[in-house]
Structure 1
Amino acid sequence: MSEQEQTLSLVDVLEEDQELQEEASAVLAGSDAERCSYPQGYVKRQALYACNTCTPKGGQAAGVCLACSYKCHEGHDLFELYTKRNFRCDCGNGKFAGAHCQLFRDKDEVNGLNKYSHNFFGEYCTCCRPYPDPEDQVEDQMIQCVLCEDWLHGRHLGCALPDGAELHEMICQSCMEANDFLWAYVGRPAEIAEAPPVDAGRKRSRADEGAPPPCRLKGLGAGGPPRAPPGAVFWPSGWRSRLCRCRACQGRLSEAGLSFLPDESDTVLAYEKKGEREEAATPVPARDPLMSALSNLDRVRQLEIIHGYNDMKSELKDFLQTFAAEGKVVTSEDIRDFFERQQSRKRRRADGRFHCA
């Protein structure tokens, strides 16, 4: 491999690392890594973790915010829950057997409005398996249901995945069956949005002025459209904004605990966009300092650094894979220990204790 190819491979690695960092920032930048979110109440959406060390299976389900996962549960066996809506941090409350939150002490014993699932014990999908699953050899993607927020394997959704499935919102079969009025929207959200009011043929009187609009779903017929085959439903972009907002439909959504559904800002995509904006607003150096340093060195020194970087990258990958295999969160202490071991090895080489053949 030529020097130019090796230099380009380093650039590619750095760019790939930057992409991964941006993806992580989209999720985590929307949450505070320094302060417990408890004082904010039931946060609209935030990154959450469950501690298998403090609240193992068989006990009460509990979730902790990003900051508490770092400060209060560092070194513990954590399940990463991605994001959940309308959740208040449980860290240190009555579910934690006397253990206190180090970031915010004055907490209620229980957060009664929080919703929990088997995800909080490291189980996902209808198959109730962990993720990652060391016994599952099938390559498959996990997709989150909009309503119950469980993660399901694509092969367990009971339907064919559309092209670009990750760009669609999905409601699982169980949630569709529990909220059967949603079937009226399946297959024709645009028609619903454009459907004229049932009284469009007559002129509105002054008594009608300011009256709430009639239910647009009635324009589709009392029976609604034929039901789709059993299975999950994937929804097109903007479908939430097309849901009927009449008083009766709002009441139905509220009764089902789905008042959030017409809110476009509730979506994970909106949350990630918020995180991206906050990350972009954070000042960063105009140029990557590593690439700037390399450009000022001779070729021999550049290659030495590149080889050292590639060795470190390979070792770091192996180190992180152990955490991924066990589903554990990597803490700042873990990373610090890794680099301290790297420094120790470097010093031993410099002392002549290690020799190359």
Structure 2
Amino acid sequence: MCEEQTVSLVDVLQEDEELEEEASAVLAGSDSDHCSYPQGYVKRQALYACNTCTPKGGEAAGVCLACSYKCHEGHDLFELYTKRNFRCDCGNGKFKDLQCKLHPEKDEFNTLNKYSQNFFGSYCTCGRPYPDPDDQVEDEMIQCVVCEDWLHGRHLGCSVPDGVELQEMICEACMKKNPFLWVYAAHLAGPGAAATTAAAQQRADESDANRPPVATQVEEAVEPSPKRPRREAEPSCRLEELQAAAREAERRGAVFWPSAWRCRLCRCGACRARLSEAGVSFLLDESDTVLAYENKGKSSERTQQGSDPLMSALDNLNRVQQLEIIHGYNDMKSELKDFLQTFAAEGKVVTSDDIHHFFEQQSEKRRRESCT
């Protein structure tokens, strides 16, 4: 029996669903129908830059998912993946001849937005576009969680670890701007980091256990007045404890951080102030991660879809019927791929109207075939 005949249609559809889930994870957390501007500086959303309206040499600007569909259809767009704390610029003072169709009343500028070379289609330390037609080297792009630029794996100054999709990366430039991160890197990142951190935490716990309670120390020294408020002890600084451990990391190259590393950062008053001053307070927020955003989008997508009666019905078809549907499905998928490639080649955004038009053509094609 041909091996192809052993493939279940359910397996085929489930594989496609997994690919679609991965592809739509970034968009699922963003609204495709309404401009995000009224929400203010959105914690994280999918963004685009329009090379047609704001070309290189002008002011950088970013537009939300809905505006990329409704206001910039047919334009040359750069897909920026996601950015944090950004407010949609579509139609504001940075756009000379375009008014937002979804939310025309906007401030002249969004002063808290942060921009980078990405908004002009340049990435990495090499400043090249992506995809790069002149680059023949197959290399993945990895996003820095601080500056949110995308860098080629070969330009990180370090080896890319296995399971990189589950780790966050901070590029060398951002590490140097925030040198205190090297202290954490020596204990949290790289081989043996978890064991070292556990040992350091055990020493700290043992030290706390042997230390008399703060209130007892005060009472032994001075009898407190009933009217004198007791001051709570300031929590010890984990960063200082790690510095005292005198473990140094080589201060060069990007750093890859293990899962849940953010929860191990010190949250004492001094460290919070340091993070705030450096503009990286978001590192204390585990829900800030792209992975958390994507998981939220996937979960929302599943909730909206609910149970799929089509999958249940397919299980009840006989083998011949399933094979006929598989062939028809593969033909349709191939034609849809060719249809979408024309948009990719021209840098155009695919709208829901385009997809509806495609399936209308498919229906007309099937009607003609049934009449012959």
What's the TM-score once normalised by structure 2's chain length? 0.83
Tell me how far 1:277 sits from its aligned partner: 2.2
- The 3 A distance-change label for structure 1 pair 277 and 311 is closer
* Matching residue within 354, 359, 367 for 1:334: 354
Separation in structure 2 between the aligned mates of residue 337 and residue 153 of structure 1, nearest angstrom: 38
Pair 1:310 & 2:318 matched: no
Pair 1:166 & 2:174 matched: no
Pair 1:264 & 2:273 matched: no
Pair 1:205 & 2:226 matched: no
Tell me how far 1:323 sits from its aligned partner: 3.8
Name the SS of the counterpart of 1:166 in structure 2: helix
Separation in structure 2 between the aligned mates of residue 193 and residue 97 of structure 1, nearest angstrom: 57
Residues 146-184 of structure 1 show CA distances to partners (whole Å, capped at 9, x for unaligned) of: 100011111111101111111111000111111111111
Separation in structure 2 between the aligned mates of residue 284 and residue 224 of structure 1, nearest angstrom: 53
Contact 2:91/2:99, CA 8 A, preserved across alignment: yes
Separation in structure 1 between the aligned mates of residue 76 and residue 353 of structure 2, nearest angstrom: 14
Separation in structure 1 between the aligned mates of residue 201 and residue 291 of structure 2, nearest angstrom: 22
Q: For residue 82 of structure 1, what is the aligned residue in structure 2? A: 81
* Matching residue within 254, 260, 276 for 1:232: 254
* Matching residue within 288, 292, 298 for 2:313: 292
Contact 2:9/2:322, CA 8 A, preserved across alignment: no
Separation in structure 1 between the aligned mates of residue 54 and residue 44 of structure 2, nearest angstrom: 22
Query: Which residue type is aligned with residue 355 of structure 2?
Result: I
Query: Which residue type is aligned with residue 319 of structure 1?
Result: F
Separation in structure 2 between the aligned mates of residue 193 and residue 40 of structure 1, nearest angstrom: 41
Among all aligned residue pairs of Structure 1 and Structure 2, give the percentage whose two residues are the same amino acid.
67
Query: Which residue type is aligned with residue 314 of structure 1?
Result: S
Pair 1:109 & 2:108 matched: yes
- The 3 A distance-change label for structure 1 pair 327 and 73 is closer
Q: For residue 227 of structure 2, what is the aligned residue in structure 1? A: none
CA RMSD of aligned residues (A): 2.9
Q: For residue 7 of structure 2, what is the aligned residue in structure 1? A: 8
- The 3 A distance-change label for structure 1 pair 184 and 151 is same
Q: For residue 217 of structure 1, what is the aligned residue in structure 2? A: 239
- The 3 A distance-change label for structure 1 pair 175 and 223 is farther
The alignment covers a number of residue pairs equal to 349
Query: Which residue type is aligned with residue 204 of structure 2?
Result: P
Tell me how far 1:109 sits from its aligned partner: 0.7
* Matching residue within 263, 273, 284 for 1:251: 273
- The 3 A distance-change label for structure 1 pair 278 and 308 is closer
Contact 2:214/2:233, CA 8 A, preserved across alignment: no
Residues 26-58 of structure 1 show CA distances to partners (whole Å, capped at 9, x for unaligned) of: 222211222211111111111111112221222
Flag the structure with larger Rg. Answer: 2
The gaps in structure 1 that reach 5 residues or longer are: 353-357
* Matching residue within 275, 280, 302 for 2:302: 280
Which stretch of structure 1 is more off in the superposition, 134-143 or 199-208? 199-208
- The 3 A distance-change label for structure 1 pair 135 and 351 is farther
Name the SS of the counterpart of 2:174 in structure 1: helix
Contact 2:53/2:95, CA 8 A, preserved across alignment: yes
Q: Higher helix fraction: Structure 1 or Structure 2?
A: 2
Name the SS of the counterpart of 1:95 in structure 2: coil
Separation in structure 2 between the aligned mates of residue 217 and residue 298 of structure 1, nearest angstrom: 64
Separation in structure 1 between the aligned mates of residue 6 and residue 91 of structure 2, nearest angstrom: 49
Name the SS of the counterpart of 2:85 in structure 1: strand
Which stretch of structure 1 is more off in the superposition, 138-147 or 324-333? 324-333
- The 3 A distance-change label for structure 1 pair 123 and 326 is farther
Query: Which residue type is aligned with residue 149 of structure 1?
Result: E
Separation in structure 2 between the aligned mates of residue 186 and residue 195 of structure 1, nearest angstrom: 19
Q: For residue 191 of structure 2, what is the aligned residue in structure 1? A: none
Which stretch of structure 1 is more off in the superposition, 8-17 or 337-346? 337-346
Q: For residue 196 of structure 1, what is the aligned residue in structure 2? A: 204
Contact 2:187/2:242, CA 8 A, preserved across alignment: no
Separation in structure 2 between the aligned mates of residue 348 and residue 218 of structure 1, nearest angstrom: 76
Query: Which residue type is aligned with residue 203 of structure 1?
Result: P
Tell me how far 1:280 sits from its aligned partner: 2.4
Separation in structure 2 between the aligned mates of residue 298 and residue 159 of structure 1, nearest angstrom: 52
Name the SS of the counterpart of 1:47 in structure 2: strand
Query: Which residue type is aligned with residue 64 of structure 2?
Result: C
Contact 1:198/1:218, CA 8 A, preserved across alignment: no
Contact 2:186/2:248, CA 8 A, preserved across alignment: no
- The 3 A distance-change label for structure 1 pair 137 and 287 is farther
Separation in structure 2 between the aligned mates of residue 139 and residue 282 of structure 1, nearest angstrom: 37
Contact 1:195/1:216, CA 8 A, preserved across alignment: no
Name the SS of the counterpart of 1:282 in structure 2: helix
What's the TM-score once normalised by structure 1's chain length? 0.87
Tell me how far 1:105 sits from its aligned partner: 1.9
Contact 2:92/2:107, CA 8 A, preserved across alignment: yes
Pair 1:149 & 2:148 matched: yes
Separation in structure 1 between the aligned mates of residue 8 and residue 151 of structure 2, nearest angstrom: 36
Contact 2:183/2:243, CA 8 A, preserved across alignment: no
Separation in structure 2 between the aligned mates of residue 264 and residue 47 of structure 1, nearest angstrom: 19
